[in-house]
Structure 1
Amino acid sequence: MAEEERKVKIWFKLSLCFLASLLLTVWGWLIISALFTDSIPAPTTAPPPCPCQNNGVCQVGGCLCPIEWTGTRCETANFCEKSSSHGLTFDRIVVGRYGHSRETCEPSTFNAGAVKATRLCTRRDGLPVLEDPRIQNCNESLDSLKDQLEGSPTSEEILQVASSTQLLTSQPEQLTAQNITTAAETVQKILGGIARSQEQVAAAAVATVSQILNANESEFLSESSSLDNVTRSLTKTLEDFSVDENATLLVQPNIAVQMVQVTAQDASTGILFSALRVPGNDSGLIPNRINYTTASGLTIHPAAEVQIFINVTGSSDLGRVGFVLYQNDRFFNSRTYKRKLSYSRRVISGRVANGTFNNVELAFSVPNDSSVSLSDHACVFWDYALSDWNTTGCAKASGAFGLLRCSCNHTTNFAVLMSFRPNYAYAKPLEIVSYVGCGLSILGLIINLLFHIITRLKTRKSKRTSGSWLLVNLWTSMLVFNIVFIAGVGNEDGREEEHKVKADTANTVPKSDIETVPENPFCTAVTVLLHYFLLATFVWTAAYSVQLYLHLVNRVVQQLPKYFKLMSAIGWGVPAVIIAITLGATYRVDNPLNYRQEEFCWLAALDRAGKFDITKPMLWAFLLPVGAILVLNIIIFVTVMVQVICKENKNLRSTKKQSRLKKLLTCLSMAVLLGITWSMGYFMLINQGETNFIFSLLFCIFNATQGLQVFILHTLRNPVFLKKAGEIFDRISPPKIRLYLHSDKYSMLSSSSTWSTQEHYKQLGTDSSQLSD
C-alpha cells in the first residue's frame, strides 16, 4: 500500500507542475494578445450625406467624378450613347475617345478579325456628339498605310490613313515590335507637319500613340534598335507638336497633349498643369481631370497624380507652353534603371515657345501599394544624348500630400524614379504559443535525454540498445532545433532596418524600383541550422520507424556496431547533403531572399505577390523530402499498430491483456515519436481563410509542444523514471505535503497492482518505452 501511495504522490506532483506550466502559458498568451490587439476606436459622428451623383466621390472643393460623368455633382453625361450607322453598331463611347464597331473584318481578308470601323465622340455646344464612322479597308496593312503618306496626299487621304492606323493598332496586345515601329513612323509623319492642323487627324494620331503605349512591355524590351530610335524620335515630335499654335487639348487613356497660350499679362507668373485622379477608374487619363491654370508657383493638389509648373517671363502674346503626359514609360527604355513592379511610371514633358524660361517644378504621386513602401527616389529627365535617364540640373524638394517634388533648370521629358522596399510582415514574436511550447519541449527533451542516457545506454549493453541509441539522436536533433528556434528565428535585425529612414538625400538614379534586402549573416545562419536539424529530426524518425518495423514485425535484430555507423551516416549525413545542394542552388550574397525569408529566419516559400512558389527551396528542399519520410512513417505506424498493438500477438511476451487506454497511449506515443503530427503542415497550404487558420492553430499547438508530448507519453509513463522522480521528491517535499499525500484519500491502486521495472520491460507492444528497445 505504501508503494501505491508513493506513486500516487509522484503523479500528483507532476500533474501540479504540468498544470502550473499550462496556466502560465495561457496567462502569457492572454497578456500578449491584449498588448497586440488594437484598441477599439472611439465612436465617431456620421459624415454628412454626399451630394455627388453617379458614384461620384465627395472631396474638399467639389465632387470627384467617374469617367462617364462630369459637372459639379457628376450629373452631366460625359458619353455618347450606343449607336448604329452604315450597318455598323457601336457601344457607349466616352467623350474624347474612339469607339470600335462590334463588326470585324471578314475571315477572307488580310486583317481578318480586326475592328472594321471606328467612331469619335466629341462635345459640341456642351453636348456629346458622335462623328461619322471611319471604315477601314480590311486588306490594308500598316506598311501600305505608311507608304500612302509619301508624295503629296490629300487631306482626306491623310485622315483615312490616320483612322486606319488607329484601327489596326486597336488591339495592342497583338502588336509586335515591327508593328509598333511602323505605326510610330506613320504617326511621326502625321504629327511632324503634314496634317497637324486637322483636328480629327491629330486626334486619331494621338489615339494611335495611346494604343501603342498599351502594347506588351516585352516588345519594347526586345533588342530592336530601330524601335528605340523611332519611339525616341516620336517623343521629340510630340514635344514639338505640343506647342503648335493649332494644337488643342487631346486626351487618350495613355497620353494627354495640352498647348497653353501665354499672354504678356501672364509673364510675371507661370502655368500650372495638373492631372488628377479618377475614382474607381482603371482606363487611364480623361479630359475632365486634366487642367491648367496660371500660378506663381507649384500649388500641390491633394488629388493630383502629376503636376508641373513652368515659370516663364518676357512672353509675348504669341508665347506658348506645351505639355505631354505619358501614362507609362514604354517609350523611355532605360539601361540603368530596371523595373520589376507593375505600376505605371508617368513621364511628363514641358516645352516653352516664344518666351523666356526660368525653372520647372514638378510633383509626382507615389503608387498606393500596401505591399511596398517608398525607400528612395530620384528626379530625372530623359537625356537623348545618353539615351537614358539623367539627374543633371534636377534636385529633390520637400513634398506634401504623399507627392514627391522636384525642381529642374531646363525643360524636356521628366520623371521620378522610385525605389521601394517590400513591406514584410515581421513576426511579433512569432506567436507566444510557439515560444512557450518550444520552451516546455526543451525542458521535456532535456529530461528525456538525461534519463535515457543514465538508465538505458549506460546500464544496458545488450544488442537491443539500438532503439535507445536512435532515440537519443532523434531527441538531440529535436532539442537543438527548438533551442535555435527560440534563440534566433525572429529576424530582429530586419525589423530594425525596416524602420530606418534613408539618410542619403543625394539625387542619384537607383538601380531598380525594388530595393535589394541586404544580407543578414545571423539570420541566414539560423535558417541553415533550423533547416539542417529539422531535416535531421525527420531522418532520425525514419530510421527509428524502420527499426521498429524490423524489430517488432519481422523480428530482426540488428548487428552492432555496423548498424550504428550506417544509421549515423544517414541520420546526420543526408540532411547535410540536402543543405549543401540547397545553398549552392539558391543562396547569393546579393540576393539572400532566394534562400531564406525576410519576415523570419526560415526557408523562402512565397513569390513577390505572396503566392506559393514551387521554385523556392521550401518545396523541393523541405516539403518533398519530409513528405516522403512522413509517408514512410505513416505506413510503418499503421502496420505496427495493426500487427502488434491492435491484434493479439502470440510473439509478445506480455501475459496480460492490454487495456484500451494503454493501447491508445501507445499509439499516441508512437505517432509523436514518428513526427506524424507534422503532416498537418501540408494542410496549411490550403488557401482558404478558416481552413488555413484551423490547421495553422493545430499545427502550432501539436508541433511546438512535441518535445513535451514525448516526455509525457514516453518518459513520464516509465516506472523507472517514476521511481527516480519519487526519490527526488522525497528529498525536497515539505513534511506537510508528505503527510497529506500519504493519507488514505489518495489510495487509488489495488494491492494486486505490479509496478516492477522487470514487468514493464516485458510488455512489448503495450508501452511505448518498450518499443524503443
Structure 2
Amino acid sequence: SSTASSAAPTRPPPVECLNGGLLLDGVCLCADDWSGDTCSKENFCKAEKLNELNFPPTPVGWFSYSEELCLEGSGAGKPRAATRCSNNHGSLGFQRPQFLQCSLTLSDILQNITTVEDYDMLATSAQILTSNPEELTAENVTTAAEITNMLLLSPNITESARTAAVATVSQLLNARVLDDTEENTATLNLTQTLDELHLKLRSDPNTFESQVVQPNLVVQSAQVSAADTQGVQFTSLKGTSGSFVSDRIQLNTNTSTVVVENGFVADALIHVQFAPEAADRNPEQSRVSLGFVLYQNNRFFRSSLYKARHSTVRVLSASVRGQNHRVVPQRVEMMFRPTLRSGTALYDFACVSWNYTLNDWSTAGCSKGNASDGAMRCICNHTTNFAALVSITDVFGYAEDLGLTSNFGYSISILGLVVTIISLIKDK
C-alpha cells in the first residue's frame, strides 16, 4: 500500500524593508529618499558641488539650498542659491542653481513684481528668503503670500517660476506666527488661487497633466473628457514621514470606484464621478479640467469655531471646471487615514466644508460614511466646498468637542467643486 502525503503550503518569505523602511500590513512604507517594494530604489539626488556651492542630498522634486550663505546685506544668513532635484528619464540630478541677490528683501520683490519681467528671479528670491520659515514674522508671511499670489495669477509666469512659487507656499505652511488678520486674508486668497491653477492649463491643448510636489504641498492638475472616464481618483500614499514626495502621489483618470492597489497604503484620496449623461455628450464638449491641492496642515485655514489644541490638521481640496457647465460631478467620495499616535484612538469625525463667505467650517453638504479599517469616509453629491474633520481621543477617553453645529449655510462655488479633507490629531 502507498502512503498519501501532502506537502505543507509554503509561506512567502517575510518582506524586508531596507533603508529605514517600515513594514505595515505586509507593505513597506519608505523614507522620503527611497522607493520601490522594499525601499531599495534611490529617490534622491546625491550631495553635489555646483558653481562652487555645496548642495546636500535631496529627494526628487524637492529643492536643495546651498550650504554657503549670504554674508552681508538684508539677506545675510540666507542660502546663496537653490536648485531642484529632478528625475530626467530615470537619471537623477540637480538642475542649474538659481541665485539670490543678497541685498533683496521681500518688500523689494513685492514693490517690483509688476515692473520686473524676470519671474524666475522674483520667484526664486522669495523662495530662498522664506527657506527658514521658523524665522518669519507675520509681516513676512503676508508679504510672501502676496508675492506668490501675484506670481501664480500672472498669465506670463514660467513653469520653473510656478514651481518655485509652490515651494514658497510649502515653506509658509511651516511658519510659526500668531493669528494675524492681514496674514489670514493673504493666505486665504492664496488657497483660492491654488484651487484655480488647473484652469491655466486649459489654454494649452497639449497639456493634460501637471504635478508639483513639495514637502508640505501638492498641486496636481489634469484634463479629462467626462464622456470617456468612469471617474478620477487622486491618491496620496503613506510613507515613514508626513512629508509629500512625487512617487507617493498618484492620479487615476479612469476608475469607476475607489481603488488602492496591492502593495500600497493610502493616506488620503478623493474620487470624483461624473453623471452617466456625460457619456452621451461629445468628448470635446464634456472636457473638464481638474485640480487637486493637498496641504500638510491647516495653517491657512484659521477657524474661530474649532480651536483644537496640540493638533495637526491636513487639508485636501479638489476643483472641477467644465467647458459645458452642465457637466458636473455626480458623486464625490473622500477617504482619510490618520496616523494614530501611541495612546490615541479615533473618537469621531464630521464632514464639513470651508465657507469663504463665513471664513470658517460649515457642516452642510456631505454625508458621513463609515470609519472601518481606520479610514474616515465622506460622500458628497453637489458642487460646493466640502471637508471631513476628524477628532482623535487619548486613552483616557478625553476628546475635544468638534465644536460645529449643523445649521450653517453654504455658498455655491462658481468654480465648481472644491473638496477638502481635514484631519485633527490630538496630542497626548
* TM-score, scaled relative to structure 2: 0.81
Shift in Å, 1:70: 2.4
Find out whether 1:54 has 2:19 as its counterpart: yes
Find out whether 1:111 has 2:75 as its counterpart: yes
User: 1:310-349, aligned counterparts within 5 Å?
Assistant: 310-313=272-275, 314=278, 316-317=283-284, 318-342=287-311, 344-349=312-317
Partner of 1:650: none
Cα distance change, pair 97–236 in 1 and its aligned pair in 2 (3 A): same
Shift in Å, 1:266: 3.1
Give the distance between the partners of 2:59 and 2:260, measured in 1 at CA: 28
Deviations 1:33-66 (A, max 9, x none): xxxxxxxxxxxx9972325543444567864332
Give the distance between the partners of 2:172 and 2:384, measured in 1 at CA: 21
Q: Secondary structure at the match of 1:248?
A: strand
Deviations 1:283-330 (A, max 9, x none): x11111110212212346772211111112427454221110111001
Shift in Å, 1:357: 1.9
Give the distance between the partners of 1:131 and 1:102, measured in 2 at CA: 16
Find out whether 1:121 has 2:85 as its counterpart: yes
AA matched with 2:271 = F
User: 1:450-529, aligned counterparts within 5 Å?
Assistant: 498=397
Q: Secondary structure at the match of 1:325?
A: strand
Q: Pick one of 146, 156, 159 that aligns with 2:110.
A: 146
Q: Secondary structure at the match of 1:137?
A: coil
Checking the alignment, whether the CA contact within 8 Å between 2:173 and 2:297 is kept in structure 1 is yes
Cα distance change, pair 413–131 in 1 and its aligned pair in 2 (3 A): farther
Give the distance between the partners of 2:320 and 2:114, measured in 1 at CA: 31
AA matched with 2:94 = L
Find out whether 1:102 has 2:71 as its counterpart: no
Shift in Å, 1:140: 0.5
Find out whether 1:257 has 2:222 as its counterpart: no
Shift in Å, 1:421: 3.2
Give the distance between the partners of 1:310 and 1:140, measured in 2 at CA: 44
Partner of 2:248: 289
Give the distance between the partners of 1:232 and 1:345, measured in 2 at CA: 16
AA matched with 1:124 = N
Give the distance between the partners of 1:338 and 1:145, measured in 2 at CA: 35
Give the distance between the partners of 2:391 and 2:305, measured in 1 at CA: 13
Checking the alignment, whether the CA contact within 8 Å between 2:170 and 2:214 is kept in structure 1 is yes
Partner of 1:84: 49
Q: How many percent identity over aligned positions?
A: 36
Q: Secondary structure at the match of 1:260?
A: strand
Checking the alignment, whether the CA contact within 8 Å between 1:120 and 1:131 is kept in structure 2 is yes
- Root-mean-square deviation (CA), in Å? 2.9
Give the distance between the partners of 1:130 and 1:422, measured in 2 at CA: 44
Cα distance change, pair 333–286 in 1 and its aligned pair in 2 (3 A): same
Partner of 1:362: 334
Give the distance between the partners of 1:360 and 1:242, measured in 2 at CA: 19
Shift in Å, 1:113: 1.0
Shift in Å, 1:225: 1.9
Find out whether 1:163 has 2:131 as its counterpart: no
Checking the alignment, whether the CA contact within 8 Å between 1:99 and 1:120 is kept in structure 2 is yes
Q: Pick one of 186, 202, 211 that aligns with 2:162.
A: 202
Q: Secondary structure at the match of 1:295?
A: coil
Identify, as 1 or 2, the structure richer in strand.
Answer: 2
Cα distance change, pair 230–322 in 1 and its aligned pair in 2 (3 A): same
Give the distance between the partners of 2:70 and 2:98, measured in 1 at CA: 14
Find out whether 1:275 has 2:236 as its counterpart: yes
Deviations 1:529-554 (A, max 9, x none): xxxxxxxxxxxxxxxxxxxxxxxxxx
Find out whether 1:236 has 2:192 as its counterpart: yes
Structure exhibiting the larger radius of gyration computed from Cα positions: 1
AA matched with 1:133 = P
AA matched with 1:290 = I
Partner of 1:215: 175
AA matched with 1:104 = L
Cα distance change, pair 97–413 in 1 and its aligned pair in 2 (3 A): farther
Partner of 2:134: 173
What 5-or-longer segments of structure 1 have no aligned partner? 1-44, 425-497, 516-607, 610-773
Give the distance between the partners of 2:406 and 2:12, measured in 1 at CA: 43
AA matched with 1:334 = S
Identify, as 1 or 2, the structure richer in helix.
Answer: 1
Deviations 1:507-530 (A, max 9, x none): 689xx9699xxxxxxxxxxxxxxx
Give the distance between the partners of 2:306 and 2:260, measured in 1 at CA: 27
Checking the alignment, whether the CA contact within 8 Å between 2:365 and 2:386 is kept in structure 1 is no
AA matched with 1:379 = C
Shift in Å, 1:109: 1.4
Give the distance between the partners of 1:124 and 1:338, measured in 2 at CA: 45
Cα distance change, pair 419–378 in 1 and its aligned pair in 2 (3 A): same
Give the distance between the partners of 1:161 and 1:287, measured in 2 at CA: 25
Give the distance between the partners of 1:422 and 1:120, measured in 2 at CA: 41
Deviations 1:372-427 (A, max 9, x none): 33322111111001000011111201233201111223456543222333312xxx
Cα distance change, pair 508–89 in 1 and its aligned pair in 2 (3 A): farther
Partner of 1:4: none
Shift in Å, 1:75: 3.2
Checking the alignment, whether the CA contact within 8 Å between 1:114 and 1:168 is kept in structure 2 is yes
Partner of 1:69: 34
Find out whether 1:415 has 2:387 as its counterpart: yes
Shift in Å, 1:236: 0.6
Cα distance change, pair 514–78 in 1 and its aligned pair in 2 (3 A): closer
AA matched with 2:136 = L
Cα distance change, pair 105–414 in 1 and its aligned pair in 2 (3 A): farther
Partner of 1:699: none
Checking the alignment, whether the CA contact within 8 Å between 2:15 and 2:26 is kept in structure 1 is no
Give the distance between the partners of 1:131 and 1:116, measured in 2 at CA: 15
AA matched with 1:242 = H
Partner of 2:348: 376
Q: Secondary structure at the match of 2:141?
A: helix
Cα distance change, pair 413–88 in 1 and its aligned pair in 2 (3 A): farther
Shift in Å, 1:73: 4.0
Partner of 2:368: 396
Give the distance between the partners of 2:195 and 2:83, measured in 1 at CA: 27
| Number of corresponding residues | 381
AA matched with 2:101 = N
Give the distance between the partners of 1:414 and 1:88, measured in 2 at CA: 46
Checking the alignment, whether the CA contact within 8 Å between 1:350 and 1:412 is kept in structure 2 is no
Q: Secondary structure at the match of 1:242?
A: helix
Give the distance between the partners of 2:424 and 2:292, measured in 1 at CA: 26
Shift in Å, 1:199: 1.9
Give the distance between the partners of 2:383 and 2:142, measured in 1 at CA: 26
* TM-score, scaled relative to structure 1: 0.46
Q: Secondary structure at the match of 1:332?
A: coil
What 5-or-longer segments of structure 2 have no aligned partner? 1-9, 202-206, 409-422
Give the distance between the partners of 1:243 and 1:61, measured in 2 at CA: 40
Give the distance between the partners of 1:56 and 1:421, measured in 2 at CA: 28
Give the distance between the partners of 1:263 and 1:400, measured in 2 at CA: 33
Checking the alignment, whether the CA contact within 8 Å between 1:184 and 1:231 is kept in structure 2 is yes
* Higher mean C-alpha deviation, range 179-188 or range 371-380: 371-380
Cα distance change, pair 347–84 in 1 and its aligned pair in 2 (3 A): same
Checking the alignment, whether the CA contact within 8 Å between 1:78 and 1:94 is kept in structure 2 is yes
Q: Pick one of 276, 288, 307 that aligns with 2:269.
A: 307
Cα distance change, pair 51–266 in 1 and its aligned pair in 2 (3 A): farther
